[in-house]
Amino acid sequence: MKAVRLHEYGEIDVLRVEDVERPAPGPGQALVEVRAAGIQPGEAMIRKGARHERRPAAFPSGQGSDLAGAVGEVGAQVSGFAVGDDVLGFTHNRVSHAEFVWSTT
């Protein structure tokens, strides 16, 4: 699958679309096929390294937290969500700019 990644702090030109391993949902998680993703101003500051002291990036890193899409797969102990459900989500590990993202339900 494809994901936007960065390997160093910088402007938008440090972003690369790369092939990465597709995540698998664990217990209590759903795998979301991302159809739209956003970036907040603070996340751009993280990419630039301006918040290194408070929010250091571990490279390689992704970018973005907000996403919308459809549930593609559910892990064990997930209730209330089914494959194909449209969802809005948030991920804490800066990876919303990818084809698939797991999210805790």
- Domains of the chain in sequence order: 2-104 (3.90.180.10)
Per residue in 17-57, pLDDT tens? 999 999 999 999 999 999 999 999 989 999 999 989 988 88
Q: Is the pLDDT of residue 77 over 90?
A: yes
Residues 6+ positions from 94 with CB-CB distance below 8 Å: 43, 46, 57, 61, 62, 63, 64, 65
Assessment of whether the complete model's pTM goes beyond 0.85: yes
Q: Is the dihedral of CA 81, 101, 96, 78 positive or negative?
A: positive
